[in-house]
Structure 1
């Protein structure tokens, strides 16, 4: 089964549609990391775009106990220039300084379109140089859909990728993208296992703007109830029972939440649910970029 990695956006931002606590305190972040260590979690996911997340992890000396994955700046332009590649290099050096470490476990291109733009090779060459120098162990990309991943794998020798997948958004699995990535030796990390918490929210708490998701969530919850497990366990079961997934990235706002997730993960391997009929192909529901 896939391992659990800890997302740390909440360490530096008020992040997530179901997050009612806002950015967490330094003490809460420390408590989460201490619990993560005891539960065998060894990868932390962060990014310069996550507010003060890297500074918080540096202050808590997370690099002493965890492998750290960070990301590049996002350019979101049709053409990447030499100055942009230089900015990526400076960003890696800045992340190392903030995190208090000499090497990162991984760096992902945060916006996949930057690699697909004219001049995208400049960014890849910068990452490759950083890997050759030992500043980074693995390089790759954070994607949003299977087509992006397929194109990028054809163009670049990706070490690691991160992509959204959950009970409603099954595209990475049904498309075969995960199988192809695994066959190419790519380390597959999955995010958005709970669709930013939407799959776990009480029906009455679903925001008005997200009501279109309600029938799909109700069908999923009914399937979990028939299987005798919580929506949390069922959500994790869908991800972790896929042999092509190495890690599922989950963010939390308290140690209690992390405890709940690790306990659920221990039950996920034995869950029997037919997830095929629970998927949704409406991008306005499954893609938070459109929310």
Structure 2
């Protein structure tokens, strides 16, 4: 299955369209069971996702055969270079304890810019050591856009400071930057596993324009073009946005968060539908819209 289960909702209230808050533990357990039964095997989480790792451990995700990817937070500002290896090891061991797992499928950097800083070499050495010890099968980075790759990899993927086994990136109907920049092709051709997140742009692609928050009014023109296309083709927004994410040949999976068992059922049903692919001319050049960190409230 080309769907990986995102778990930020298990640990935090997340998403511009989220009305229900953090997913209760019993609902999280039901979501995992339903997704596993449908063929999903990959979980995406992070230390920064509040209680998510703890919830996954209490549910028994690792014992149920889920392959788990987590993310290291940024390096503490006052951490000496000599202590980076110890910090990385103890941080990952803490994740494994919370998850009830003995190893990770992948360990990603939530702040890949740390590799470009003064402690970058020590951080890279620590990550490679963790992989060599078998605490993680893969290493990689989580990015916000291709500019992160431009900065980190000026000489291309072959000269990456750590093995780029996995790169997680946003990509959706409006956000085609990974493709248009050429990075999708370069990374996939080099053997990097690409995981796409933000298929629904935190719910904006599923939201009626009348519900658009005032602080996101700048998004209205792009969202109106999207909704006009949906109306013209008779397409369902959930199914069309999902169809785009799952149709990317260069990607291993789309990371999708579900906040309820009903939401999971909707996504699984939508994944089985046929229909037109959203065209390239729906892409947005609104940098603020494409980066939720810039959505000032």
TM range (shorter): over 0.9
Matched, 1:282 2:296: no
Structure 2 Cα separation of the partners of residues 92 and 28 of structure 1: 27
Per the TM alignment, residue 149 of structure 1 is displaced from its structure 2 partner at its CA by 2.2
List per-residue Cα deviations over 1:63-119 (Å, max 9, x = no partner).
122100001121386997232342222111001111011110000001111112122
**Any conservation in 1 of the 2:173–2:278 contact (CA below 8 Å)?**
no
Structure 2 Cα separation of the partners of residues 202 and 88 of structure 1: 43
| SS in structure 1 of the partner of residue 49 of structure 2 | coil
Question: Residue 225 of structure 1 aligns with which residue?
Answer: 231
Unaligned runs of 5+ in 2: none
Which of 193, 202, 210 pairs up with 2:199?
Answer: 193
What is the 5 A alignment of 1:185-264? 185-264=191-270
**Any conservation in 2 of the 1:10–1:253 contact (CA below 8 Å)?**
yes
Question: Residue 127 of structure 2 aligns with which residue?
Answer: 127
Compute the TM-score of the two structures, normalised by the length of structure 1: 0.94
| SS in structure 2 of the partner of residue 118 of structure 1 | coil
Cα RMSD for the two superposed structures: 1.8
Question: Residue 107 of structure 1 aligns with which residue?
Answer: 107
| SS in structure 1 of the partner of residue 137 of structure 2 | strand
Structure 1 Cα separation of the partners of residues 226 and 66 of structure 2: 34
Matched, 1:24 2:23: yes
Structure 1 Cα separation of the partners of residues 16 and 76 of structure 2: 24
**Any conservation in 2 of the 1:48–1:54 contact (CA below 8 Å)?**
yes
Structure 1 Cα separation of the partners of residues 219 and 135 of structure 2: 42
| SS in structure 1 of the partner of residue 39 of structure 2 | coil
Structure 2 Cα separation of the partners of residues 264 and 214 of structure 1: 25
Unaligned runs of 5+ in 1: none
Q: Given the superposition, is the C-alpha separation of residues 224 and 88 from structure 1 closer, same or farther in structure 2, using an over 3 Å criterion?
A: same
**Any conservation in 1 of the 2:72–2:110 contact (CA below 8 Å)?**
yes
Per the TM alignment, residue 226 of structure 1 is displaced from its structure 2 partner at its CA by 2.5
Question: Residue 60 of structure 2 aligns with which residue?
Answer: 61
Per the TM alignment, residue 253 of structure 1 is displaced from its structure 2 partner at its CA by 0.8
